[in-house]
Every structure is written in structure tokens, then in C-alpha cells.
Chain A
Amino acid sequence: MALGTKASQTVLSVRNLSVAAVDAAGARPILSDISFDIESRRVLGVIGESGSGKTVLARSIVSWLTAPLKVTAGEIMFHGRDIVTDQAYARTLAGREIAYIGGNPAGALDPTMTVGAQLVEKLSAVRPDISTRDARDKAIRLLEAVRIPSADRRFHEYPFQYSGGMMQRVMIVDALISDPALLIADNITQPLDVTIAAQILKLMRELNEEFSTAILFICSSLPVACDASDDVMVLHDGRVVEHQKPEALVAAPQHSYTKGLIAELPTLWQDGPASEPQSPTRDQQAIISVRSAAKAYYVHSRGQAGMSRVQAVRNVDFDVFPGDNFGIVGESGCGKSSLMRLLTGLERPDSGTILFKGENVGEASPRRLRELRRKFQLVLQDPYGSLPPQSSIGNILEEPLKIHRIGSRSERRDRARSVMAEVGLSDTLYEHLPTNLSAGQRQRLNVARAIILEPQLLIMDETLSALDQTEQGKLLTLFERLQAQHGFTYIFISHDLTMVRRVCSRIAVMYLGETVEVAPNDRLFFDPGHPYTRALLSAAPTLEARRYRPEECLLEGEPPSPIDLPPGCAFASRCPNVFDRCHRENPTLRARGNSALASCFLIDEHESGPIPQESHNA
């Protein structure tokens, strides 16, 4: 350990730090007059929107500033020595005493080396005297410490075999392996799901206890920062506008910027859906009706001959009624995207049925499927990758019409212009490339492309997750208006509970490929029927008082691998209410009162027996 003493001591002390972009035109300040201290075993959270100087702050501490950025004033004292003036000293620290974790673990790991080899290489670079065997043991021990299951086997795997959350854990190991005194975590939870992020945060805190490392936790989400840190510093326009304990910050924000930030946060518990969802009439036919759909993939597995079977989707049951906003939530890897591929007919289910207005999508002929596709459209997640490059906006919009051979050239053009107006894109953009559009504008374009065929059902696959709060709000208003005008039905596939809470009237929760609960909005949030739903709700980052505490809802266990599913309930390994029946038998969805379903044995059996499907009629 770098620090022998148990008592906390100041590791890093920043005084009046100013950084500016210096070029021929002059100096443009990026950071001005920043001062703070971090003690060992403490977590200092830094929050601020993009462009507030968070990353520049992190980089100036690890001496990574590149031209034109330059420290113009102030000092950064690490263990009492200034690293701004003493560059030689700074170089001995980077990667050893000061570790840095970024927000893009997939980009930080070398895809051509096994994870273990990279960790050992890093360790032998900073500690040349360590033997390879010791280095390997240490790496495996740390991989276990960050709860990578069967670490000694995973040690020999390549980064692509890791999930995003696991890669981020590997990055934490990579940072901790040299026993640093200070760890800079720059936006590490941003690309992760809420539950995975919650686990990573919990892990960071525990490691903090264990390794007595000081942590500078940089983040753009206020709830996450408040959750993770002992103190929170709010950065705005390169200045520290507030520096407080998280409780005090939330309860009594001093600066107007912080106040605005807190007011803007979405809430889970206080107010329900933005507009009271009209309860769709249950006596009409469901627009989409899924019955025990299942889909498995075969993947090559290392070390074994042949292929392994991954059960991506199983026992999925739900109905979506016309005019409804239906939500599908779950952690990454729960089968949301596989289900989306089944719903859109990109793939066919192995068993079960997916009925679109009574017609089986899974068995439709390719020609019929193409016709059906006019009626249900998908809006994709990535605003950058989902638009074909080098096509003008007009061409992108006319493509669906050309595919289905609708209209003449001039009719198509008029139609494209009218949907552009509908989603709020100016007419003059028609011949433009989407290159200069922002993420929000690109998603508008994606929506326009989807609605140009006048579909009845729109499937939103994480459509809003790449956008910031304000932009999300604007698009949700747009969706609402389009729904009112055209009577669309929406399916929102998302991991964002606050968004689903605001928009959807009915919500399905997925865990390891199964729908474990289907319930109306309020019922799901205030009276969840499945313990997994409760765990998911407990992990959601909000500033509000928690209704469910993660400690009570989630046992420290790993979800089983979809390759090797246990016979009983998939959640049994993490469920606090588990009893022996759960390990033998998998519960099916059963009704719990009017229009709510959950698959758990603890639901009163006498209320009604297990029914495999939702009733069509109220």
C-alpha cells in the first residue's frame, strides 16, 4: 500500500488552478480559480454539464493537458509536492500513484490481447520487479474483488467476451492494480445501465474502504454523484459554483445553477405520467400480442468444441392495445434487443407466437412481412449510426417510400417535406446532409423516416437514451402530439425508469429473457409484484427519498449466465425472498388483481391460478 497510515490524510490539494486554451489569438479560460482537497478514503464528486471543464480538470491532475491547453496559474499538490512545476515528479505518478479510468472501457482495452495479459502488462510496466506469476495472481485477486465471476477463467478471455459493465470493472482493476493513492473516475457510469451503474458505484465505495484510495468522481448526473460521493463539487463554466455535502446540496442548493439542475431532474415517485394516459379500451383487439415467445442463439464458445446455446428470449407474454404507450424495461442483456428483433420480424421466434392484429409475424412470408412492415416501424437507438451517411435528408426520408414503391417522384418529395414539417425540421434542410444535425435533430429525422409510411405501431428502441434531459422532453412532447394526430401506438424499449414512468401506461419488466411482470404504471411503481422489479426500482438514480432500499431488494449474487440457465426461477440467485421451490420450478406469469401480472410464487395462489396469458377482455 502506498499509504501505511490508517488515518486519512490529504492526498491531493489543488489551489487556485486555472487552465486556459492558449493560442495566437490569446488565452481563453477553461478552468478558473479551482481549489479543493481530497483526503484518502474520501470520494469527491465533480458534476457539471458537458463543456463545464470536468475532463480538463481530470487531465490537468494526471498531467495530460495537450496544446493548446495550459495551466496558467495555481498549483496541484500531490502529497505536498507541486506537479505543475515539477514535471519529472508528475511523470513518475501517472499510472502509478494517480490512476485514471475513462468512460469508454471498450476503447481503452486492446481487443487483440486477453484481459489478463493486459493487466499483467500494465502491472509489470509500473512494477518491473514483480514476477509474472505474482502479477497474474494479483490480477486474478483483483478481478475477484470487483466481482468478475470465475475470474481465473475470465482472465484468459478477450475484451469482446465481456459485457460493458464487466469491462468497466476491468478498467477499475487496471487502475487499482498499481495501488494508486488517487483514482480519477471520469464519467465511468455513463455508458452503463442503471442497475449495473449502481453495482459499480457500490463496488467503488467498498474498494475505497478496502484500499484507502482517494477518489475524484467525475460525472454528469447529479443523483449518481450524490450517491457516490462524500462531498460534491458543482462545476459550471470552469468555476466551482458550489462545494457541499450531498445531503446539504440537495436540500439547500446555494447557487442558482445548482437549483436549476435539481429542478430539472425527472422524478419517479412524486408525479405520475406527464399526461394521464387514456386507459385504452380493452375490448378491442390487441395490436401486438406476444405469447410465450422464445428465441435462442448459438455462439462459439472458447475451450469447447461446438456451439453453446444462449437463451435470449423465453416465456415472453404481453398484449399492447391500440393507442397505448407500452414500456419494456430491463437491464442490459435481458433480451430487450432480441425481443425487438422478434417484434419487428427481423428474426423469427423459435416457438411461441407474435401476433400483429391477429396475424402471426413469425410465420409471415417474406413478401407479406414486407407489407406488414409498413404498419410497424422501428426507431433506432444510435442517432449517428442509424442514418445512412452521404445521403441527403430528403433522400433518407424518401427511401421508405421508394422501398414500398409509393407515389411518384414529386409526390414522394411533397410527402417528405410534410413529415419534415411535422417533426419540426426546416424545409431548407431537404438537400442537406445530416452531418451537421445534433443528436436530438437526428432522432427527429429518424422519427420522420419511421412515420412517413403512416404506420400504426412505432417501436422505440432506446430512442431517447442518447439525448439529454431537455432534448428528451422536447421529443416526448413531439411523440405525444404525433400520437394525438395519427393515433400511433408506441412501444418504448428502455432502461430508463424515469422516462418510462413519465410516458408509459403499461410496463413489462424483463429479466434474463423473461417477462417477469406486466402491470399498469402506478401499480408497477407503487406495488411491484416481482422482487426483481423492486430491485430495479431501488437502483434507479433519483434524488428523492427511496421507496425501496437496494440493500433490502438485491442480494449480492451474480445473475446466471443465459448459456447455462438453472432449472428454477432465474432471479433466485439474487432474490431476498427466495425459498426452496424457486430453485426447482420456474414460476409463470400469474394475475394479481385487475390487469397486472407477475411471475413469482409469493403471489397469492388463491387470488387466481396461474394463467399463461393476459385476458383479451376486461
Chain B
Amino acid sequence: MTIIDLPSSAADQERSEARIATRIWQHAFASTEFKIGLVVFVVLLSAALLYPWLSDIDPTKMNIRAKLTPPVFMGEDWTWAHPLGTDQLGRDMLARTLVGLRYSLLIGVSTTVLMVMVGALIGLFAGYFGGWVDTVLMRLTDAQLSIPMIILAITILGVSRPTIPSIILVLGLAGWPVYARVMRSMVMAERKKEFVRGAMVLGATDLRIMFALILPLVLPPMMFVAVLDIARMMIFESVLGFLGLGVQPPTPTFGNIIADGRKYLLNAWWIATMPGIFLVVTLTSINLMGAALERARNTVYGGT
């Protein structure tokens, strides 16, 4: 009886001793992009989260005499007290941006998580069971898709008070149908494959096949899109802010900082620009990590 083994290099052999998930992380960590993205993201996130303990500058404290101070090395009357300048009411921009980042990230990430969860769940059930389950769930999805998001938001947020949880709920509700559609078609493709039938014969329940077998296969490609949606949702929050339906002042978010800065774009460009720069840097760091992770997955799975 011959024992089958695969020819492989010593390094491969060493790596293949580890679990697959561990191997993916190892591959990801080995890439420069991932390291850069991780460092930037961790610095930004901890600055945003730990801000109240790092500095005692209140992001809502007004100082009319120091209003519209430019960032350091810009213009004439800049000062180290306000490295990123101040806004029209003399509030410190660094403090406002960091706190704004905290709220914007909170809104962007939770909205996306909500969207993906609801959409994936509905798509999974519709695609797996088909038949009348599919019909009912997909008509529901179509109905949701036919309502323009802004109108939905104005209706709901106009009636109730726009708080952070209600904004998350509204944005999440408006965004899930796309995920449900994509998920459904991917699940339909997977469930026809022979390994699914194999699992049925082994005695696996439908729920087990859906969540343990199919979901891990279809979720990663969706997560890639979801990362981009975090940014989209942060922008949407600022759109709501424009309409006065976003997070209410004085709580700073990227949305209402940009809305404020719009009026001063000509003489105080930094008010609207600073949140934009932070947004770009944050998302770039997330994307760098996502791309590195995706590459690592492909290396380990070898294109399967």
C-alpha cells in the first residue's frame, strides 16, 4: 500500500503544518501593504477612540477670538495650539476631526454590518430554498429597492429625531437589497454543486449546509465590496447632514463638519478638507489590508 504525499519545499511543509486560517494571516502579514495599512488604521482608530484621555481640548468648546485659524505652516497667524486650525466658531479642528472620525466610523461600519447581515441572510434563504421562499423574499427586496433612499430617510428621520442609532437603522435598511440580490445569485450557483449534495447525503441539515458550507464560500467576495460601502455610508451620513437630518450639532461627524465648512470653502478651505483627508487615509488603510488579505487567500487556496 503506497502512502500518498505531496512533493513540497521545506518552507511549504513548515507552513502547511499550520491551520489554513493561520496560513492566510501569515501570508497577509508578510506583505508590506498589509503592514502599512494596519499601522495607519491602528494609529487613527486609537487616536479617535482614546482622544478624550489624550487631550483635554473639548471639540465643542468655542473660542470666537481664535476663529478660522489656519493649520500649522499655513497663512500667517497659525499656532501649535490648533495644529489643524479652527472652524468658524473657533473650535479645534484636530479634536473635531478625531471625534468626527469616531462617529463616522461608527456609523459607516455599523451600517455596513447591518446591511451585509440582513442582505446576506435574506439572500441566503432565498437562494438556498428557492420556490415560494425565494419569491416572497425577492419581491420584498424589489419593493425595498423601489423606494429611493433619501425619501425614506426624510420620512423616517423627519418624523422621529435623527439620533445615531436611527441613522444607522435607516441607512442599513436602504442598503441591504443589493447584498440580498448578489448573495442570492451566488448561493444559487453554489447549492447546485456536488459537494452540497454530498453533505446532504452525509446527513447535514439545511441550516448547517447554509451556514457552515455555503456562507464561508460566498461571504469573502462580498466583504470586499462591503469595505468600499463603509466609505459610501460615511458620505451618505454627510448627505443627511446637509439636509439637516444627520447627527445633530454639536456632536461632530464628518458629515456636519463638511457641511459647516462648505460655507467657508473660499477663505477657510481646511474645515471641509480635513475630514476629507482623514476619510481618504482611513479608507485607504482598510483597503490595503483587504487587498492583502484577498491576495493571501488566493495564494493559500490556489484559485479554488
The chain A residues found within 8 Å of chain B, CB to CB, are: 344, 346, 369-371, 373-374, 377-378, 380-382, 385-390, 392, 399-400, 403-404, 421, 424-426, 428-429, 431-433, 435-437, 441, 444, 446, 449, 453, 481
Contacts and interface: CB of A to CB of B under 8 A. Distances in A.
Contacts of A444: 4
B194 interface: yes
B11 to A, nearest CB: 14
- Of all A-B residue pairs in the complex, the 4 with the closest CB atoms, nearest first, are A426-B5, A373-B203, A385-B194, A389-B304
A380 B194 contact: yes
Interface string B197-226: 111111111001000010011000000000
Interface stretch (B12-20, B88-96, B133-141, B146-154): B12-20
B5 A429 contact: yes
5 contacts: A377-B202, A389-B217, A400-B203, A424-B4, A429-B4
A389 B202 contact: no
Given A381-B194, A444-B4, A449-B198, 14 more contacts: A371-B203, A378-B201, A380-B194, A388-B217, A392-B20, A424-B1, A425-B4, A426-B4, A426-B5, A429-B4, A431-B19, A433-B300, A441-B4, A446-B198
A425 B304 contact: no
A378 B198 contact: yes
Contacts of A441: 4
Contacts of B193: 385
Contact of B16 (A378, A381, A432, A453): A432
Interface residues of B, number: 33
A436 B6 contact: yes
A431 B194 contact: no
Interface of B: 1-6, 13, 16-20, 193-195, 197-205, 208, 213, 216-217, 300-304
Contacts of A437: 4, 6
Contacts of B18: 431
A373 B300 contact: no
A431 B203 contact: no
A424 B3 contact: yes
A346 B194 CA distance: 13
A404 B198 contact: no
Contacts of B194: 380-382, 385-386
Contact of B3 (A385, A400, A426, A436): A426
Nearest to A387: B195
Contacts of B217: 388-390
Nearest to A444: B4
Contacts of B20: 390, 392, 431, 433
B19 to A, nearest CB: 6
Contacts of B213: 388
A490 to B, nearest CB: 16
Contacts of B195: 385-389
Given A380-B194, A388-B213, A403 B203 contact: yes
Given A374-B203, A392-B19, A346 B197 contact: yes
A386 B198 contact: yes
